[in-house]
Structure 1
């Protein structure tokens, strides 16, 4: 986020425990970014928050509603924890400030944003532009190959480290595969008004416009008003001009993929480090490795180390091509079906898998949707205990909440809530996050030990890991929840009483978002395109003084 992309005043820093504010790094319509110094002496971090500290989270600046009632901060946190790439801004933690507002802590990119650099020192050279555009094309290809769209690629959202390494940041407008498509929007001048929705093609247009901005100091004008690049930068190679013009085509389907764009830019000219000396805050100058312009043979050799160390010629296939290659009838359910056909004892596993997926409201089996009504009573079937791969927890570890420190603070608070309805909200969110990241330890924390749901989740995670697959866009939400009286399940022991039961049932409407299953290369295996709603009864039990899921039944 940068003042280049949005207007807005500075309302003051967030009040974060154990951190002191240093200075404001950027301010805009979505919020602010402040440099914060940890009191333990560790490196400073960039703290991003929406609106004035403590203000309620809102939708986008063009009036769109929040995505699944999540803030844009939470959306950005989910994407950055789901994907890892050397040119995605490193994430530290999601916390709440003293006023209750969510704050995203990220690595401080001391070189600043491209908007700041161009504003302070003027346009970049051709070689410097190649240094930035190539890795940005690569990271977009990485995201597109996994069904994610950034949605607001702009000079204010591309940051540089003190060494001049570029990072893509600000994922508040991002969309993951399975989430509903949004109308195209973003920073003026860096999206095509003719695009119908945010897509990989709209990201490519934005990056090409960033390239135009880096070389000329202004965004690319509309096609009919755009003069040839050589009018402004006579020394620009024809190959680079061709790459930028292809990315700026009005027809989204004619634009190159992000991977092809990155390769074309890389071949067009030699990359050189971005000179930052005249463009950064004075306090950053001692950290810089690219303080001066490049002159002479020694500096050219140094430039080679900088450039080629970050660039990769091999990139993931684009989402478009991956989607075309998706096989009908494949997916998570297909894995269970194949096991049933070869190993008889897997029938019990199938029952647990279907019981697990009931809370996700949908199971895919050979391409057909299985709702919980077809699984009535399935979770009551006994199975042989299977401790393979189970996460073992000591008594002390069960009571500790250190495992939840990395989760959003509101989720951590919900997991500890003694109200089973509020706890279920947090459990459902954590479960979708854990399944998306194949996190066995998280699943072991939110499901009761030895429960049907833990067995089901373990099978899912094991199978995802075995196949090298992952889930994208999965979001489980709870609504219209109320508790049932379960006199027969109440316990008067140490963990419960008649007035404070150890086991309880919660009837709720479970909404599962559209989601996708991807293989190891990011290719689409199966996509559940529509939301699913079901009425379920969730049996919960007290484990280590908090609620955990035990069993899922038909709520009808």
Structure 2
């Protein structure tokens, strides 16, 4: 039986409850005087001063900011030694979700794997490998957005650090035997010690995918049952990608970007149903499912509710981000031709920033109107027909219509948050903030089936193209 730890005393913070324990630390939920919550990780064996606690994770993240990487916030002193604060993700972990709900549907697995693969690509380009990609280190917001946490095992490529083994069942075989080749194709500068390299992260990610689909970690190659024997209905493309990621030879594993593209092609992503693993406190905040009695003849299944709430909009935005990959690498560029030819705009040498800012600000209300009305013609008021952005929202409209659902009170606000980059006179990109206000999802009878309390804020990069009708969204990247 696990020994009960007394809560630490943290000046300036109230310790609310224990969130969980890892192999070498305990994590607590804390709140400051204004009620802002954070996760506090305290090592079981206190390090020599705050710098030692922060060294690995703070160096690993550095100036990297990614929506799917949980950033460390800083260090605090406690009566149990220094502790590391990080953003609190109340939706729990992938491990707790699978333990509570069992194996996930393929669409939900895609919603987890694609953003995590994007996060790994960003880390690898930043010169860092994670070192412990595992179900317990993939956390969720209440909207179902996954983020990669706990960079305590990460290493800066080329650094001389001690040997780490990761989580049993999810660590690459070379991490236990001193490493091997296979870094050049991943764009890394050099290998870390003891097999800690980008290819090792990809093995772990494939193992996470296997776990999410089957409920258990994969065995090593020699003793691993073929995935179709466990899941007879699994598509061939799923088997091929996961087996490639689990290859004993690091050189034969795909890179993170390729993994994200191939994974997104498996099927349509679906929002996560976090309810089975949620605590009572968190369950009240979830927009993805509501356990309220339904009148006879109007009962909605859990699966339907899972796609009815606030995370449905976020899942569509995620689809935009994943589709953005299709214009890179060995994939064809996304089409941008309009269905009805429009008059060509006057060619300009320089873009007027205020015009772009006004165009971005108009995206939110126009998108909210299109997703509320379910009229496909309204999509062209802000997105380029036949573009990834247009197709993603058209699919979302169709999904809502097929299920007899609609959004009520949906309000989206978009704004430019940084410098506008001009690619040529007709193409620009800009960082944007998307704010989603509270809203309801109702069925054809007007009954509420889910409520998104919000507000929530997401950040993306938008790519715009100038048409005869003005600036239109071509694609969105996370």
Shorter-chain TM band? 0.5 to 0.7
SS in 2 for 1:144: helix
1:79 Cα offset (Å):
2.5
Which residue in the other structure is 1:94 paired with? 75
Which residue in the other structure is 2:217 paired with? 219
- Distance between the aligned counterparts of 2:95 and 2:6, measured in 1? 22
Contact conserved, 1:90 with 1:107, CA < 8 A, in 2? yes
Which residue in the other structure is 1:121 paired with? 101
1:119 Cα offset (Å):
1.1
Which residue in the other structure is 1:171 paired with? 151
1:72 Cα offset (Å):
5.0
Which residue in the other structure is 2:16 paired with? 22
Contact conserved, 2:29 with 2:39, CA < 8 A, in 1? yes
Which residue in the other structure is 1:266 paired with? 264
- Distance between the aligned counterparts of 1:30 and 1:191, measured in 2? 17
1:282 Cα offset (Å):
0.8
Within the alignment, does 1:192 sit opposite 2:172 as a pair? yes
Within the alignment, does 1:144 sit opposite 2:124 as a pair? yes
Which residue in the other structure is 1:156 paired with? 136
- Distance between the aligned counterparts of 1:301 and 1:97, measured in 2? 39
- Distance between the aligned counterparts of 2:306 and 2:133, measured in 1? 34
1:250 Cα offset (Å):
0.5
- Distance between the aligned counterparts of 2:237 and 2:311, measured in 1? 21
- Distance between the aligned counterparts of 1:134 and 1:151, measured in 2? 18
State which of 30, 47, 55 in structure 2 corresponds to 1:56: 47
Structure 1: gaps of 5 or more residues: 1-6, 59-68, 319-556
SS in 1 for 2:14: strand
Q: Deviations over 1:244-288 (max 9, x none)?
A: 111000000110001111111111111101111111111101111
SS in 2 for 1:75: helix
- Distance between the aligned counterparts of 2:83 and 2:306, measured in 1? 43
Distance 1:105 1:315, change over 3 A: farther
1:89 Cα offset (Å):
0.9
Which residue in the other structure is 2:28 paired with? 34
Contact conserved, 2:93 with 2:135, CA < 8 A, in 1? yes
Q: Please say which of residues 80-89 and 250-259 is displaced more in the overlay.
A: 80-89
Q: Deviations over 1:386-444 (max 9, x none)?
A: xxxxxxxxxxxxxxxxxxxxxxxxxxxxxxxxxxxxxxxxxxxxxxxxxxxxxxxxxxx
State which of 244, 253, 276 in structure 1 corresponds to 2:274: 276
Contact conserved, 2:289 with 2:306, CA < 8 A, in 1? no
Which residue in the other structure is 1:133 paired with? 113
SS in 2 for 1:239: helix
Structure 2: gaps of 5 or more residues: 180-194, 291-300, 329-478
Which residue in the other structure is 1:80 paired with? 61
Contact conserved, 1:109 with 1:160, CA < 8 A, in 2? yes
- Distance between the aligned counterparts of 1:37 and 1:303, measured in 2? 25
Distance 1:95 1:271, change over 3 A: same
1:25 Cα offset (Å):
0.8
Q: Deviations over 1:336-385 (max 9, x none)?
A: xxxxxxxxxxxxxxxxxxxxxxxxxxxxxxxxxxxxxxxxxxxxxxxxxx
The normalised TM-score by structure 2 is 0.58
Within the alignment, does 1:12 sit opposite 2:6 as a pair? yes
Contact conserved, 2:174 with 2:200, CA < 8 A, in 1? no
Contact conserved, 2:288 with 2:307, CA < 8 A, in 1? no
SS in 2 for 1:172: helix
Which residue in the other structure is 1:243 paired with? 241
1:40 Cα offset (Å):
2.3
State which of 255, 258, 266 in structure 2 corresponds to 1:257: 255
State which of 13, 19, 44 in structure 1 corresponds to 2:37: 44
Which residue in the other structure is 1:525 paired with? none
Contact conserved, 1:159 with 1:167, CA < 8 A, in 2? yes
SS in 2 for 1:112: coil
Contact conserved, 1:8 with 1:29, CA < 8 A, in 2? no
Q: May I ask how many residue pairs the two structures share in their alignment?
A: 298
Distance 1:298 1:159, change over 3 A: closer
Q: Please say which of residues 244-253 and 301-310 is displaced more in the overlay.
A: 301-310
1:12 Cα offset (Å):
2.7
- Distance between the aligned counterparts of 1:17 and 1:87, measured in 2? 30
- Distance between the aligned counterparts of 1:84 and 1:10, measured in 2? 35
- Distance between the aligned counterparts of 2:3 and 2:58, measured in 1? 24
Bigger-Rg structure (1/2): 1
Q: Superposition pairs for residues 280-295 of structure 1, below 5 Å? A: 280-291=278-289, 295=303
Contact conserved, 1:91 with 1:107, CA < 8 A, in 2? yes
Contact conserved, 1:47 with 1:103, CA < 8 A, in 2? yes
Distance 1:236 1:45, change over 3 A: same
Contact conserved, 2:129 with 2:156, CA < 8 A, in 1? yes
